[in-house]
A = this chain, B = another copy of it.
Amino acid sequence: MIEVYTDDYFMKEAYKEAQKAAELGEVPVGAVIVSKKKIIARAHNQVEQLEDITAHAEIIAITAAAQFLGSKYLDDCTLYVSLEPCCMCAGAIAHARLARVVYAADDDKGGFMRFGKKMLHPKTTLEFGIMHDECSLILKEFFQQKRALA
């Protein structure tokens, strides 16, 4: 049997959220949270729309997943996110005790990995690089377009 619900499948869904963000003039980052192979939360960056720096895709998705499950801990969930989380989001991921985090593009300047994996909960598994190129490109194109308009 072919496995449909692979990491690639879910990262594509996170990427679709990033595309929605781009269309709305937001820095294109998207996230989905998966429990038992089902997407229970999906979100894109809404910082500009909500004029709120806490409205990152990961934060919105974590809050939505907790509401859906009726539990503040997401220890049977995987977060797929199109960009390496920042420290704020890594801190939230740690508090929520996510079982697994998979991110696509890396963020040498703003990402939490500057401070190392120890920022996450010790039980959280971390993977990265799936759809790296597509998720990097959508960000690169967004900022290029923004600079051209400036």
Contact = CB atoms under 8 A, between A and B. Distances in A.
A54 B66 CA distance: 10
A67 B87 contact: no
A53 interface: yes
Copies of the polypeptide in the assembly: 2
A122 B46 CA distance: 25
Interface stretch (A14-22, A88-96, A139-147): A88-96
Interface of A: 47-48, 51-54, 59, 62-63, 66-67, 70-73, 86-92, 94-96, 112, 115, 119
Nearest to A87: B91
At the interface, is chain A mostly helix, strand, loop or mixed?
helix
Given A87-B88, A87-B94, 5 more contacts: A51-B70, A53-B66, A53-B92, A87-B87, A88-B91
Contacts of A119: 87, 115
A59 B67 contact: no
